[in-house]
A and B are shown apart, each in its own frame.
Chain A
Amino acid sequence: MIELTTTSPLHTFPGGIHPPERKAPANSTPTKRLPLADRLYVSLRQHSGLIAELCVSVGDRVTKGQPLSKPGVDNGLPVHAPTSGVITAITEHPLNHPSALTGPTVCIEVDHLDEWGAREPLGDLSTLSRREILNYLQTMGIAGLGGAGFPTARKIAGAQGIDVLIINGVECEPYIAADDRLMREQSQGILRGSKILQELTAAKQVVIAIEDNKPEAIAAMTAALSTDNSDFILRVIPTRYPSGGEKQLIQILTGKQVPANQLPADIGVLVHNVGTAFAIAKAVDAGEPLLERVVTVTGETVAEPCTAWVPIGTPVGHVLQSCGFKAEPQQRVIIGGPMMGYTIPSLDVPVTKTTNCILAPSATELRPADEEMACIRCGACEQVCPASLLPQQLQWLAKAKDYDGLKQHHLADCIECGACAYVCPSEIPLVYYYRQAKAQIREQLIEQQKSEIARQRFEARQARLEREKEERLEKHRKAAEARKAAQAARAESNEEDPVQAALARVKARKAAQEESANAPAVDDKKDQVAAAVARAKARKAQREAEQSSEAESAADDKKAQVAAAVARAKARKAEREAAAQQAEKNGEDS
Chain B
Amino acid sequence: MSWLFGILALAALAIIAGLILGFAAIRFRVESDPIVEQIDSLLPQTQCGQCGYPGCRPYAEAIANGDELNKCPPGGQATIDKLADLLGREAKPLDAAHGEEDVKKVAVIREDECIGCTKCIQACPVDAIMGAARQMHTVIADECTGCDLCVEPCPVDCIDMVPVAIQPERWKWDLEQIPVQYIDGSASSPTTEQQVETQ
Contact = CB atoms under 8 A, between A and B. Distances in A.
- The answer to whether A and B assemble together is yes
Contacts of A318: 187
Given A452-B45, A455-B56, A347 B127 contact: no
B180 A454 contact: no
Contact of A345 (B44, B47, B172, B180): B180
A338 interface: no
A440 B56 CA distance: 24
Contact of A457 (B143, B180, B183, B195): B143
Nearest to B144: A454
Nearest to A464: B127
Nearest to B124: A461
Given A331-B182, A346-B188, A458-B126, A443 B44 contact: no
Contacts of A101: 166-168, 171
A397 B153 CA distance: 46
A442 to B, nearest CB: 7
A332 B192 contact: no
A6 interface: no
Contacts of B182: 330-332
Nearest to B185: A327
Interface string A338-373: 000001111110000000000000000000000000
Contact of A461 (B44, B127, B184, B199): B127
A327 B46 CA distance: 50
B1 interface: no
Given A327-B184, A332-B182, A461-B125, A451 B168 contact: no
Contact of B188 (A317, A439, A452): A317
Contacts of A450: 45, 145
Nearest to B140: A457
A315 interface: yes
Contacts of A93: 192, 196
Interface residues of B, number: 42
Interface string A485-501: 00000000000000000
A23 interface: no
Given A317-B187, A345-B179, A453 B143 contact: yes
A99 B187 contact: no
Given A454-B46, A455-B40, A348 B179 contact: no
A457 B126 contact: yes
Given A91-B199, A93-B196, A331-B182, A443 B56 contact: no
Interface string B158-199: 000000001111111111001111111101110011011101
Contacts of B192: 93-94, 346, 348
Interface in B35-69: 40, 43-47, 55-57
A559 to B, nearest CB: 91
Interface of B: 40, 43-47, 55-57, 125-128, 143, 145, 166-175, 178-185, 187-189, 192-193, 195-197, 199
Interface of A: 45, 48-49, 88-89, 91, 93-95, 97-101, 103, 107, 315, 317-318, 320-321, 327, 330-333, 343-348, 432, 435-436, 439-440, 442-443, 446-447, 450-455, 457-462
